[in-house]
Amino acid sequence: MNSPLIRHTAAELAARIHAREVTSVEVTQAHLDRIQAVDGRINAFLHVDTEGALAAARRVDADLDAGKAPVSPLAGVPLALKDVLTTKGIPTTCGSKMLEGWRPPYDATVTARLHAAGVIVLGKTNMDEFAMGSSTENSAYGVTRNPWDTDRIPGGSGGGSSASLAAFEAPLAIGTDTGGSIRQPGSVTGTVGVKPTYGGVSRHGLVAFSSSLDQAGPCARTVLDAALLHEVIGGHDPMDSTSIDAPVPPVVAAARQGAAGDLRGVRVGVVREFSGDGYQPGVLRSFEAAVKQLTALGADVVEVSCPHFDYALGAYYLIAPSECSSNLARFDAMRYGLRVGGDDPKLGAEEVMSLTREAGFGPEVKRRIMLGTYALSSGYYDAYYGQAQKVRTLISRDFAAAFDTVDVLVSPTTPTTAFRIGERADDPMAMYLADLCTIPANLAGNAAMSVPSGLSDEDGLPVGLQIMAPAMADDRMYRVAAAYEVARNAAADGALIDRVPDVAV
Amino acid sequence: MPSISRDEVAHLARLARLSVTDDELDMFAGQLDVILRSVAQVGEVAADDIPPTSHAVPVTNVFRDDVIRPGLTRQEALGGAPAVEENRFRVPRILGEEQ
């Protein structure tokens, strides 16, 4: 009963829609049917906008039928949108009770660009509350499950977006990455996840968790699809003061160039610090095989040391909670969202605020708000927040020194494959380790992505290869990723995603 | 001996306007202590002569042209409010009775 259309890549769907071999409505309906059939098991979606999606698809079809050129290379293709980006008139909850039922009065810039490009937004995807988490177990609306093994986590915080791709509910998705929330779910679901250069995609309308780290980016099943989406959402936005005023790097051209399978002249650095204790042997073996493949493609592979990366996790878990304690002050029960105790005339604003925040936030959010409040408080500021900001400088210097000698850096995306649901729930530090390899790129603002590198030989679960590039050199990593993807698929007799078990109920 | 006590967590919760339960105080005291001990290693490497980085890109203020343009309508701005009265946000009392 599954339509074959759900197995197509976004690039294939776009080509068929634009050639009028199939309509956008048919493609959209196929994915809506798939969501209906499997999302009861996966819980990737918090809200499905059936009517809005079909109406948008009809508009694309009408324009194409009238002989107009497609408004973008992805016009008519469906997409799943992480629920941290605002959508005018469509619920946006950030996975929190605090915003249950909230319908924003405006679209995020990313949302507006998707609409303008004729991309069909199927609905909003599940996530760790306010993007805080590494497993999508912290959503107020239930856990999202990994299509490879529904007893396991799909990664976090953007587990819904990546799971929707692996379950063939959508060919494209948008995530946001503060410490790895696009790349880590991409890695454990066998999909592609890209954190563009900080400032490369607008944060206007992205509900802020840690403003100096948050970055929206594309999720897809192939490198080329991610690149096509990257060019749709990227570029300068005057509504975001941190948006970089420069053209989007030519990532689609780079992906096409890379697909030719030649990496001669490309210098690849293997980060020495990302190996050893704490890394699952099967993850390391997959990584070593990937490095061999890059060498076989002609890349010049050397080992590089980034000594301060060992301190990145510590710096991140001071900086991100500090910024979150400030950003989440906006949830004050006054202007939008939940209010608890507001009907009791005996309670003042401060009490209503405290009761609301107690009821509306889950444990991970409270933990981080208090951690940030502590790190920023008088007497501790210099020892914690101030020191963490200095470590950030050291990490940026490590990257700069490495990029003096190599074009891209590579590492495993995550130290382990997807862990079991509940396995790390009571141990925050164990949970935080899931983002060990992804965090440095957020602290320094570099571009980074995860591309599937195979299945771990111990548990048969997906492993990701992380590729990092200097700021505004996103095209470099797309070239390397596309070349690697082609070579890996040829060597492994097909794409990893074709081996995901069918989750149809 | 934990470096962060239950009373300190209660104080942090008050500062953060979080009305936490007794059980949560116990849980958070233990967890925050473990997390802070783990992240305290940042102090080992960051010497005095290292400048702090607050943002990966230079942050400058951005001004738009001073041109009148439509913003949210009153209805849109109030649309998500928990309570509205006479086209305004209705909020609990801010001053105590003694004030």
pLDDT in tens, B43-91: 988 778 999 999 998 887 878 889 999 999 999 999 999 999 999 999 9
Q: Are strands A267-271 and A120-125 parallel, antiparallel or unpaired?
A: unpaired
**B62: in domain:** no
pLDDT tier at A53 (50, 70, 90 boundaries)? very high
**A491: in domain:** yes
The residue written with tokens 């002050």 in the block is A329
The reported pLDDT for the residue numbered A496 is 96
| Chain A interface includes B69 (CB < 8 A) | no
Q: Which chain A residue's Cα is nearest to B54?
A: A389
Structural contact between residues B35 and A428, judged by C-beta atoms closer than 8 angstroms: yes
Q: Hey, what are A334's tokens?
A: 């006054």
Nearest beta carbon to residue B18 from set A198, A314, A358: A358
The reply to whether residue B20 touches residue A358, judged by beta carbons under 8 angstroms, is yes
Nearest chain A Cα distance for residue B31, angstroms: 7
The reply to whether residue A348 touches residue B77, judged by beta carbons under 8 angstroms, is no
The burial class, CB within 10 Å (0-12 / 13-18 / 19+), for A88 is middle
List A72, A135, A139, A157, catalytic entry: A157
pLDDT, mean of residues A276-299: 96
| Per-residue pLDDT reduced to its tens digit, A60-90 | 999 999 999 999 999 999 999 999 999 999 9
Q: How far apart are CA A222 and CA A495, in angstroms?
A: 9
The reply to whether residue A392 touches residue B16, judged by beta carbons under 8 angstroms, is no
Q: Hey, what are A328's tokens?
A: 């989440």
Helices and strands in chain B, H and E counts: 4, 2
Please report, for the domain that includes residue B27, its CATH number: 1.10.20.60
Chain A residues in contact with B51 by the CB 8 A cut-off are 390, 393
% of residues, chain B, pLDDT over 90: 67
Structural contact between residues A503 and A229, judged by C-beta atoms closer than 8 angstroms: no
Q: Which chain A residue's Cα is nearest to B84?
A: A335
Please report, for the domain that includes residue A305, its CATH number: 3.90.1300.10
| Per-residue pLDDT reduced to its tens digit, A91-107 | 999 999 999 999 999 99
- CA angle, A443 as apex, A208 and A85 as ends, to 5°? 25
| Chain A interface includes B67 (CB < 8 A) | no
pLDDT, mean of residues A374-401: 95
Amino acid at A118: G
Count of the separate structural domains present in chain B:
1
The reported pLDDT for the residue numbered B63 is 82
The reported pLDDT for the residue numbered B45 is 87
The reported pLDDT for the residue numbered B97 is 61
Task: Write down the ipTM of this complex.
Answer: 0.93
Structural contact between residues A190 and A453, judged by C-beta atoms closer than 8 angstroms: no
pLDDT, mean of residues A176-205: 98
pLDDT, mean of residues A199-210: 98
Interface size A-B, in CB pairs within 8 Å, comes to: 184
The overall average pLDDT reported for chain A is 97
Range of the domain at B9: 1-44
Amino acid at A352: V
Give per-residue burial for A381-410: e unless 16+ CB within 10 Å, then b: eeebbbbbbbbbbbbbebbeebbeebbbbb
**A333: in domain:** no
Which of A370, A376, A394, A424 best tests the B interface by mutation, with the highest count of B CBs <10 A? A370
**pLDDT exceeds cutoff 80 at B2:** no
**pLDDT exceeds cutoff 80 at A176:** yes
Q: CA torsion A227→A232→A236→A242, rounded to 10°?
A: -70
pLDDT tier at A2 (50, 70, 90 boundaries)? confident
The reported pLDDT for the residue numbered A218 is 98
pLDDT, mean of residues A448-453: 98
The reported pLDDT for the residue numbered B98 is 58
**A101: in domain:** yes
**A434: in domain:** yes
| Chain A interface includes B28 (CB < 8 A) | yes
| Chain A interface includes B3 (CB < 8 A) | no
| Chain A interface includes B36 (CB < 8 A) | yes
Chain B residues in contact with A436 by the CB 8 A cut-off are none
The reply to whether residue B39 touches residue A339, judged by beta carbons under 8 angstroms, is no
List A24, A72, A82, A187, catalytic entry: A82
CB atoms within 10 A of CB A494: 10
pLDDT tier at B1 (50, 70, 90 boundaries)? very low
The reply to whether residue B52 touches residue A445, judged by beta carbons under 8 angstroms, is no
pLDDT tier at B94 (50, 70, 90 boundaries)? confident
Nearest chain B Cα distance for residue A405, angstroms: 21
Nearest beta carbon to residue B50 from set A329, A373, A394: A394
Up-side HSE of residue A374: CA atoms within 13 Å toward CB? 28
The reply to whether residue A373 touches residue B61, judged by beta carbons under 8 angstroms, is no
pLDDT, mean of residues A319-327: 98
The reply to whether residue B41 touches residue A311, judged by beta carbons under 8 angstroms, is yes
**A495: in domain:** yes
Q: Give residue A264's region: left, alpha or beta (phi > 0; psi -120 to 50).
A: beta
Nearest beta carbon to residue A370 from set B12, B57, B95: B12
Residue B76: which H helix or E strand, with range? helix B74-78
List A72, A161, A181, A456, catalytic entry: A181
**B40: in domain:** yes
Angle between the A474-491 and A223-233 helix axes, to the nearest 10 degrees? Answer: 160
Range of the domain at A61: 7-309+392-499
CB atoms within 10 A of CB B49: 6
Helix (H, G, I), strand (E, B) or coil at A17: helix
The reply to whether residue A241 touches residue B59, judged by beta carbons under 8 angstroms, is yes
**B68: in domain:** no
Q: How far apart are CA A221 and CA A462, in angstroms?
A: 13
- CA angle, A388 as apex, A386 and A391 as ends, to 5°? 115
Lowest mean pLDDT among A12-16, A473-477, B19-23: B19-23
The reported pLDDT for the residue numbered A337 is 94
**A453: in domain:** yes
The reply to whether residue B31 touches residue A367, judged by beta carbons under 8 angstroms, is yes
Count of the separate structural domains present in chain A:
1
Told to judge if A354 belongs to the known catalytic residues of this protein, a careful annotator would answer no
**pLDDT exceeds cutoff 50 at A321:** yes
| CA of residue A69 relative to chain centroid, distance | 31
Chain A residues in contact with B56 by the CB 8 A cut-off are 198-199, 212, 396, 443-446, 471
The reply to whether residue A336 touches residue B93, judged by beta carbons under 8 angstroms, is no
Structural contact between residues A38 and A504, judged by C-beta atoms closer than 8 angstroms: yes
Told to judge if A82 belongs to the known catalytic residues of this protein, a careful annotator would answer yes
Which of B4, B11, B18, B42 best tests the A interface by mutation, with the highest count of A CBs <10 A? B42
Nearest chain A Cα distance for residue B40, angstroms: 7
The reply to whether residue B56 touches residue A396, judged by beta carbons under 8 angstroms, is yes
Told to judge if A195 belongs to the known catalytic residues of this protein, a careful annotator would answer no
Nearest chain A Cα distance for residue B68, angstroms: 16
Beta strand ranges found along A439-496 (DSSP E): 447-455, 462-469
The reply to whether residue A241 touches residue B24, judged by beta carbons under 8 angstroms, is no
